[in-house]
Amino acid sequence: MHSMHDPIVVYEDFECLTKPIESCKPNSEHSYTEQYQKHETSGFCFNIVCDRKKQKPVLYTKQSEDENIGKIFCKHLKNEIDEV
């Protein structure tokens, strides 16, 4: 039995909001990295290309502060790949 594998490519983009971080004063006697903003994921878009055919892009924007965008992304991606 012969089978052919179709390559699947996923192009994705995450959008983030930057929020300032309150930090303490750095100590000049030691090296340090000053964190001044936090990137908070606010949404994503992805597009699946399979056998040179583009699927409809999937767009999602955060609806509330407590949503886990990473978990939602994985759920949507799995559903779309299962359909392909």
Using CA atoms, how far residue 69 sits from 10, 21, 36, 83, in Å, is 17, 21, 23, 21
- Looking at the domain assignment, is residue 1 inside a domain? no
Residue 39: CB atoms within 10 Å = 11
Q: Counting Cβ atoms within 10 Å, is residue 76 exposed (0-12), middle (13-18) or buried (19+)?
A: middle
- Looking at the domain assignment, is residue 65 inside a domain? yes
- Looking at the domain assignment, is residue 25 inside a domain? yes
pLDDT of residue 46: 96
- The pLDDT-based confidence of 22 (bands split at 50, 70, 90) is confident
- For 23-79, how does the pLDDT look when each residue is reduced to its tens digit (9 = 90+)? 767 777 877 777 888 899 999 999 998 876 778 899 999 999 899 999 999 999 999
Domain interval for residue 49 = 8-83
- Looking at the domain assignment, is residue 38 inside a domain? yes
Token pair in block for residue 20: 């300032």
- Looking at the domain assignment, is residue 56 inside a domain? yes
Residue 16 has pLDDT above 70, yes or no: yes
pLDDT of residue 27: 72
- Looking at the domain assignment, is residue 3 inside a domain? no
Query: How much is the average pLDDT of 6-28?
Result: 84
- Looking at the domain assignment, is residue 46 inside a domain? yes
Domain count, the chain: 1
Query: Does this model's pTM top 0.85?
Result: no
- Looking at the domain assignment, is residue 2 inside a domain? no
